Amino acid sequence: MATSDELAQIDISKEEKDKLVAEVMRYVLFKTHQTSGCPIKREELTGIVTKNYRQRALPTLVINEARERLKATFGYEMRELQRTRAPATRSGRPPSQAQRGFPVSFPLFLNVDAKSYVLVSMLDPEVYSKYVEDKDSAHLPGFAFAVLGIIQLAGGKMSEEDLWHQLKRLGLNDNDENHPVFGNNKQALELLVHWYLLKEKLAGPEGHALMYELAERALDESISGVLKDYISQIVGTSNATEVD
């Protein structure tokens, strides 16, 4: 929390600061709900603060306090993500409400620009699974882990053609629009492009090829660690060093 001296240096009252913090928290909570956990750009939050204030240090102060209050009040970690490099071509729009299904404790992201934030539940996974998780959407995280596992074993990046070749071995065809669980299989994969994967179009000697690559969230230890354990169980090894 900001001290009286810090507020005096920035030239803002505690009441004004608290109002800005509340606005940022409200924006983060509603945006996370509307986009099913897609990253929120820092510039969006900064814009809330700088709309009526011009103090340079104020956005950082307000955002940091909003992060503290979200953790203390709602049990959410407002985690910062930062892109290390941008893809050549990006694809996709945020999913509609009808396409949702991933719980906040299992966020899937893509197109994360430098300095973005996501909410992650701090509840114990067993507690979340028992009392919060929507069992009707449990197949979506399972599908995500299958796709991420395939790409991880391929070195973290693979072509769309090769990915579907592997998914067909699991009974998932790219031309199936009426799968009993996923519906349109291509749309199910496209959902991951909004959270877990980077999708880029590369030019080659035989024309353009679509490539899928693990995005920052998939490389985060909270996901990659679980993913490696998952892979090791499938291949029957005691560790997943072969996918490091």
- The predicted-structure confidence for 5-30, as pLDDT tens digits, reads as follows 677 777 888 899 999 999 999 999 99
Which strand ranges, in their side-by-side order, compose the sheet holding 76-81? 40-41, 116-121, 76-81
Q: What's the burial of 190, exposed, middle or buried (CB within 10 Å: 0-12/13-18/19+)?
A: middle
The 10 Å Cβ neighbour count of residue 12 is 19
Residue 78: pLDDT band by 50, 70, 90 thresholds? very high
100: pLDDT strictly greater than 60: no
Percent of the chain with pLDDT over 70: 75
Q: Write down the pLDDT at residue 125.
A: 73
Q: How far apart are CA 216 and CA 213, in angstroms?
A: 10
Give the separation between CA 107 and CA 36, rounded to whole angstroms. 8
Model confidence, pTM: 0.64
- pLDDT per position as a tens digit, 36-72: 777 788 999 999 999 988 888 899 999 999 999 999 9
Q: Is the pLDDT of residue 110 over 70?
A: no
What value does the CA radius of gyration of the chain take, rounded to a whole number of Å? 20
User: Hey, what amino acid is at 242?
Assistant: E
Residue-wise DSSP of 89-114: S----PPPGGG----TTS--B----S
What's the chain's length in residues? 244
Separation between Cα atoms, residue 16 and residue 165, nearest integer Å? 57
Chain segment 113-163, per-residue pLDDT in tens: 467 888 888 888 788 777 666 666 667 778 888 899 899 889 889 999 999
Lowest model confidence (mean pLDDT) among 6-20, 187-201, 226-240: 226-240
Name every residue whose Cβ is closer than 8 Å to that of residue 100 and which is 6 or more positions away in sequence. 36, 137
Average pLDDT for the chain: 78
- The predicted pLDDT at position 194 comes to 67
Encoded amino acid at 75, one letter? G
Task: Say which residue, 20 or 88, is predicted with more confidence.
Answer: 20
Between 185 and 88, the more confident residue is 185
What share of the chain in percent tops pLDDT 90? 27
Residue 22's H or E segment, with its range, is helix 14-34
Q: How far is CA 175 from the centre of its chain?
A: 27
